[in-house]
Structures are given as C-alpha cells and as structure tokens.
C-alpha cells in the first residue's frame, strides 16, 4: 500500500478541522451550511483530509469516566534485545495506550492506566517487569491531570521544517482532528 501524499491545506481545510474539533459529530450538511459550500464539496474535502492522514476519525474517552483510577508515565530500561522488540510486546497490554522509543535515561516511555491500586501493582511489578528484555520499570503516577488534549496540533503555529504548505504559502504541520462521525457499529 502506498504512503499518503502530503497535501496543501487552505483556510477551508483548516476551518473544517476546527469545526470538527468543536463538534466531532457535526453532519456534512451542517458543515456545508457553516462554510457556505455544498455538502458534496465538504464530503470530498473531509475524505481528502482523512486519506492524507491530516485528520482521522477517532473516539476520545476520559480514562476516569470508564473506570480507571490511575494514569501513569512509565520509563522502561531494556537489556539483551532491542527497544522495538520490547515495545511490540508491551503494546499488546490493554492498559498501555501510548508507547514511544526514546533517547535518554529510559529506552521506552509508556502511558498506562490502572483500575485500582491492586491492578496497578500487578501491572507494574509483575506484568510489565516480567516481559523479556525489561531491565527496569520506573513508574510516575499522575496525581492531577492538568491537561489531556488529544487535538493538540495547532494550525496557526506551524512547526519548523514542516512539509505542508497552505495556499497562502505558510507552513502547516499534519493534524489529527476530532471525529466527524461515530465509529462503525455505534448508534
């Protein structure tokens, strides 16, 4: 399968993403009315944004609302294998919602959730630490989540070296927007 090609973003594309960030279930008809475009044009633009990976449809949940008491950042030091091999194994854990290979004190950085203290202890000291290649696990519990913003990509603050150019010629970073329709199978 071919990798998505970068696209030029114009002010209409940015406005579509902005509106969908405000209301991820906004129908194409309402988007069209807001933007003074046809529904077919909006549908085509949204599809183009999705196909190029500038925006994707996702469901965002609040970890506390679905029963998790703890959110942690976990540093992992690896030995006797590659960080990528250990990362692939750890990525299979349902509680791990982000995993990155990093440079620094740790080889991997994870973001995980746990339902309660007992589940936290089991996850950290038995399951994560028991994965072959894990040398050391260093958890940091989030005691107060001050910001958890899944739509963080700022359109009007371009990243240096960005490969996306708008019609006006300013750089833009690829963005992941909010959902525009419910996930398959939801009502």
Q: How many CB atoms lie within 10 A of CB 176?
A: 16
Which tens digit of pLDDT belongs to each residue from 136-154?
999 998 788 787 766 656 5
**Closest alpha carbon to 151 in 50, 45, 59, 36:** 59
Q: Evaluate if residue 50 carries a pLDDT over 50.
A: yes
Mean pLDDT, residues 110-120: 91
- Answer yes or no: is pLDDT of 176 > 50: no
Separation CA 116–CA 38 (nearest Å): 50
For 122, counting Cβ atoms within 10 Å of its Cβ (0-12 exposed, 13-18 middle, 19+ buried), the class is middle
CATH of domain 1-55+153-187: 1.10.10.10
pTM value?
A: 0.56
70-141, which class in CATH?
A: alpha beta
pLDDT average, residue stretch 107-113: 94
Q: Where are the domains of the chain?
A: 1-55+153-187, 70-141
The predicted pLDDT at position 22 comes to 82
Q: Indicate if the pLDDT at residue 166 is higher than 50.
A: no
The confidence score (pLDDT) of residue 174 equals 34
How many other CB atoms are there within 10 angstroms of residue 163's CB atom?
A: 10
pLDDT of residue 40: 95
Which of the four pLDDT bands, split at 50, 70 and 90, describes residue 77? very high
Whether 131 contacts 90, CB under 8 Å:
yes
């Amino acid at each position: 399968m071919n990798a998505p090609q970068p696209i030029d973003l114009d002010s209409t594309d940015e406005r579509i993403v902005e509106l969908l960030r405000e209301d991820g279930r906004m129908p194409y008809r309402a988007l069209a009315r807001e933007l003074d475009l046809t529904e077919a044009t909006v549908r085509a633009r949204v599809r183009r944004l999705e196909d190029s990976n500038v925006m994707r449809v996702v469901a965002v949940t609040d970890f506390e609302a679905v029963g998790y008491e703890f959110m942690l950042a976990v540093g992992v030091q690896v030995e006797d294998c590659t960080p990528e091999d250990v990362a692939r194994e750890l990525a299979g854990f349902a509680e791990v919602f982000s995993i990155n290979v990093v440079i620094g004190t740790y080889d991997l950085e994870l973001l995980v959730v746990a339902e309660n203290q007992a589940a936290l202890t089991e996850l950290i000291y038995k399951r994560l630490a028991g994965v072959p290649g894990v040398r050391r696990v260093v958890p940091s519990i989030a005691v107060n989540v001050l910001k958890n913003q899944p739509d963080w990509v700022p359109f009007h603050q371009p990243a240096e070296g960005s490969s996306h150019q708008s019609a006006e010629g300013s750089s833009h970073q690829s963005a992941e927007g909010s959902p525009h329709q419910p996930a398959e199978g939801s009502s």
